[in-house]
Structure 1
Amino acid sequence: MIELANRLRTVEEYYFSKKLREVRLLMANGKPVINLGIGSPDLSPPQKVISALTESFVNPKANQYQSYQGLPELREGMVSFYREQYNVYLSPSTEVLPLMGSKEGIMHISMAFLNEGDQVLIPNPGYPTYTSVTKLVGAKPILYSLTEENDWLPDLELIEKQDLSQVKLMWINYPHMPTGAKASDAFFTRLVSFAKRHNILLVNDNPYSFILNTEPKSIFQVSGAKDVCLELNSLSKTFNMAGWRVGMVLGKSEFINAILKVKSNMDSGMLYGVQKAAIEALNCSKLWYVSLNQVYKQRRELIWKLADALNCTYNKNASGMFVWAKLPPFIKSEEFIDLLLKENDIFIAPGTIFGSNGEGYVRFSLCATVEDIEEAIARI
């Protein structure tokens, strides 16, 4: 009998991979399920992005293997984007690496920097992939607690009471998913100082900067952050290109070169047309962000009404494409969402999939039409 690798015993299939099969089966059986659970943008990318992709296919280079580091003009577009949007200056030749989505970047970074037994600080609640990838590479996840009482920010003084001698890497994610919490400049500065004191690689996963957020931030706005930091970013949410798989990792050349050693052994470059389209996206004017957020603002106001109808509470100052809502006392998250799916044909995400501190919370996605959200309200 062929045995599976031991590493697979440490992880399970991704929650949404399993749950969406159930939702699709219900829909195939005639159930009118409204999906408010997953953050997959339903809006279109800018038209010039689509045009750049379609026009690229007549180029002789379109079907060839591409550079592992991406087109030079794509890297230039990424650093120009950081310069214009964050006032952060980076080298296009040495300090940025295009990725096929930032999710692969989580794996590449982990493989480049973690040895078996190394410890990794991971937010609870937080993106489940941080934990699963840490386990897959044989490292040990150390969860740090985020709570509503502390504005969903890590308590660095509490963390420093632990033995951090084996900690190699720390994941942060602001604006935060799933809560929508934001970190201030001062807190980013504290995080960088913390990482320097303990020789920890600090990685900020930053795909939600521009969704319902008036002050986009990068960890590299902190002086000296390059010494201990990397940042992931993505075109998935900002430009409605989730399925196109375009992301980036940014940092000093030594870190980027280490990640490239992994990446260059795992793929053969990004599709030429997708790269040309990404360049167009990164050059979008401010009008794009304004129009995008007008849509999400309208949807969020309706989601707030839906949450009110379900007797949930939420923070109106949060950002991102989700509404993180607290359930009434003594109600379990997964029991609540299963009942809502069964009784009202509405699917939302239980807070527990993001960690134990998500118990008692649910997450609503803004990736649904006004008509669908209004229908959900009517059903409640």
Structure 2
Amino acid sequence: MIVVAKRIHQISEYFFSEKMKEIQTLENKGIDIINLGIGNPDILPPYGVIPKMKKASEIKNANTYQSYIGIESLRKSIADWYGNTYKVYVDYQKEVLPLMGSKEGIMDISLSYLNKGNQVLIPNPGYPIYSSISKLLESEVIYYDLYDREDWCPNIKLLENKNLSKVKIMWINYPHMPTGATITFEKLEEIVVFAKKNRILLVHDNPYSLILNNNKRPLSIFNIKGSKDIALELNSLSKSYNMAGWRIGMIIGKHEYIKNILKVKSLINSGMYYPIQIGAIEAMNQNSEWFKKLNLEYLKRKKIILEICDRLYLKYRRKSSGIFVWAKILDLEQNDRKWSDKILKNYHIFITPGSIFGNNGKGYVRLSMCCPVKTLEKAKNRIFS
């Protein structure tokens, strides 16, 4: 028998990978499951994107290997998009690295900067992949607590009291997944100062800033003066332009950081399919009307999701951002995983238990808005308050 690497024992299969198999089994039995668990956008990308891709697919050499750093026009479009969206200057020749989804970026950054025994600051609750990849690389995960009473933002004063000598990377993510909390400019500035003082590479994962964002304008980590010295930002077109399956992401940061990450990326995969790059350029050329229309649709969906929460006796923040609603189970004795299983069994609706995002998610659940209004109404009507 071939023995697996020890590092495999540090991780488990991604929760959603396992859960989707369970749901598939139920659907194979003829049960109609409504999936409110996953943030998988169902709306089409902007009009014009797919025709551009089709045309690009017929160009000579479209099917050949592409540059590891993406075509120049894609990098320039990303830099222009950052300038228009976040009012941040980005050098497209040195400070942009296109990715096949931002999840790839989490791995590339971690491989580039983490050694065995390094420590990583990871939010609790937070995106589970930060922890999984850190553990795969035999780094030590140090969770920092996020609480509703503190608007799901890190308490920097508490972090300052820790021994930070082995901390190499700190992950932050706003608007926050899973809670939908936003962050103020002042709080983001405080985190940057903390990272600089303690010589920690700060990585801001920023894919939700254009969906129902309650800030006056979307924030980038690079809105903070001097942040490029110690920060990287991940972004993606998955949620903002409904291209999740196309795997289009990016890392923005100082040339020195990008150059190191490219060393890793170039060994793991090749460049992005040419027509997808052309589609991404077309998407980022959309004006603000695209987001007005998209957010109006999500507002309609959110209204029904909140009505579902009311019927299930869940407490929520009405002004959350992003494509999810984070809600608290009012029955304090309820285990969120058992509650989720009960809803699946009784109503054939899947809702994500909050504890998969960390122990500070216990007693909470997360509902996705990635279903048409008719489907959400159907889900609501299955539940009797």
- After TM superposition, the score normalised by the length of structure 1 is 0.99
Per the TM alignment, residue 28 of structure 1 is displaced from its structure 2 partner at its CA by 1.0
Partner in structure 2 of residue 23 of structure 1: 23
Of 364, 367, 370, the residue aligned with 1:364 is 367
Q: How does 1:178-217 map to 2 (within 5 A)?
A: 178-214=178-214, 215-217=217-219
Per the TM alignment, residue 61 of structure 1 is displaced from its structure 2 partner at its CA by 2.1
Structure 2 unaligned blocks of 5 or more: none
Q: How does 1:254-269 map to 2 (within 5 A)?
A: 254-269=256-271
SS in 1 for 2:258: helix
In the alignment, the residues of structure 2 paired with residue 135 and residue 264 of structure 1 have an alpha-carbon distance, to the nearest angstrom, of: 23
- After TM superposition, the score normalised by the length of structure 2 is 0.98
Equivalent pairs counted in the alignment come to 380
Partner in structure 2 of residue 176 of structure 1: 176
SS in 2 for 1:12: coil
SS in 1 for 2:61: helix
SS in 2 for 1:62: coil
Letter in 2 for 1:44: L
Letter in 2 for 1:183: I
Per the TM alignment, residue 6 of structure 1 is displaced from its structure 2 partner at its CA by 1.1
Partner in structure 2 of residue 337 of structure 1: 340
Q: Deviations over 1:15-65 (max 9, x none)?
A: 000001101110110111110000000100012111111111111121111
Structure 1 unaligned blocks of 5 or more: none
Partner in structure 2 of residue 32 of structure 1: 32
Give the root-mean-square deviation of aligned CA atoms.
Answer: 0.6
In the alignment, the residues of structure 2 paired with residue 341 and residue 174 of structure 1 have an alpha-carbon distance, to the nearest angstrom, of: 30
In the alignment, the residues of structure 1 paired with residue 45 and residue 364 of structure 2 have an alpha-carbon distance, to the nearest angstrom, of: 31
Task: State the identity %.
Answer: 51
Partner in structure 2 of residue 45 of structure 1: 45
Partner in structure 1 of residue 248 of structure 2: 246
Q: Kindly indicate whether residue 96 of structure 2 is the aligned counterpart of residue 96 of structure 1.
A: yes
Of 299, 310, 313, the residue aligned with 2:312 is 310
Deviating 4+ runs (over 6 angstroms): none
Q: Kindly indicate whether residue 365 of structure 2 is the aligned counterpart of residue 379 of structure 1.
A: no
Partner in structure 1 of residue 325 of structure 2: 323
In the alignment, the residues of structure 2 paired with residue 168 and residue 24 of structure 1 have an alpha-carbon distance, to the nearest angstrom, of: 40
Per the TM alignment, residue 268 of structure 1 is displaced from its structure 2 partner at its CA by 1.3
In the alignment, the residues of structure 1 paired with residue 318 and residue 80 of structure 2 have an alpha-carbon distance, to the nearest angstrom, of: 32
In the alignment, the residues of structure 1 paired with residue 41 and residue 196 of structure 2 have an alpha-carbon distance, to the nearest angstrom, of: 37
Q: How does 1:76-225 map to 2 (within 5 A)?
A: 76-214=76-214, 215-225=217-227
Higher mean displacement: 47-56 or 291-300 = 47-56
In the alignment, the residues of structure 2 paired with residue 51 and residue 248 of structure 1 have an alpha-carbon distance, to the nearest angstrom, of: 23
